[in-house]
């Protein structure tokens, strides 16, 4: 999946049934680290390349990667036939604890409960919410992210990205041959 604008040039490949292999270069070291954690803990194979207008800041890069990743997740899940659909994961990272609950519903919604102000290297912590908003809107998933506690912004972001990987990995696993909906489709 690719996205090319005047602000970014993004390409993402994803295998939801992978082993956690990753090859990531976004131009933002901390974002690379977070995407690596997402892939590792979701057991996804993920490759990301982005050339963005980092002279402005990291917003366009972070958001556009979320858009492309979300579109790819939606395409890979297709009609969602047989997937678990719902999942939740709690992940601690030292003093931080995050809970992520996902519904691969076909309805985009993000509820983000966390205060991630401050910089981590060349990454603005507040862009974490923007990344997940872009993923949800384009993957057509409902996502509740609750940062239950934390003091260190790096640890808080890490707990969230790991939790998201684990929850999406569980929700996208094939468990039957039917769509998990009383309507018969999602």
Contact 26, 35 (CB under 8 A): yes
First CA to last CA across the chain, in angstroms? 22
DSSP one-letter string for 120-160:
ETTEETTHHHHHHHHHHHHHT-EEEEEEEE-S-HHHHHHHH
**Alpha carbon distances (Å) from 51 to 64, 66, 67:** 11, 14, 15
> For 75-86, what is each residue's pLDDT tens digit?
999 999 999 999
Cα distance between residue 103 and residue 141, in whole Å:
6
Span 174-185, average pLDDT: 80
pLDDT tier at 183, thresholds 50, 70, 90: confident
Residue 178 has pLDDT above 90, yes or no: no
Residue 109 has pLDDT above 90, yes or no: yes
- State residue 184's pLDDT score: 73
């Amino acid at each position: 999946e690719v996205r090319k604008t005047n602000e970014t040039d993004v390409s993402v490949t994803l295998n939801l049934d992978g082993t956690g292999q990753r090859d990531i270069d976004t131009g933002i070291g901390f974002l690379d680290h977070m995407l690596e954690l997402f892939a590792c803990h979701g057991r996804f194979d993920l490759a990301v390349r982005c050339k963005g207008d980092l002279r402005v800041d990291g917003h366009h890069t972070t958001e556009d990667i979320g858009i492309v990743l979300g579109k790819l997740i939606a395409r890979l899940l297709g009609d969602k036939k047989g997937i678990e659909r719902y999942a939740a994961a709690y992940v601690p990272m030292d003093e931080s604890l995050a809970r992520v609950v996902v519904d691969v519903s076909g309805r985009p919604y993000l509820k983000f409960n966390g205060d991630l102000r401050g910089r981590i290297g060349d990454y603005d912590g507040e862009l974490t919410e923007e990344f997940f908003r872009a993923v949800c809107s384009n993957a057509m998933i409902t996502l509740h992210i609750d940062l239950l506690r934390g003091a260190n912004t790096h640890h808080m972001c890490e707990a969230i990205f790991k939790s998201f990987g684990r929850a999406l990995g569980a929700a996208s696993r094939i468990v039957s041959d039917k769509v998990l909906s009383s309507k018969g489709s999602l």
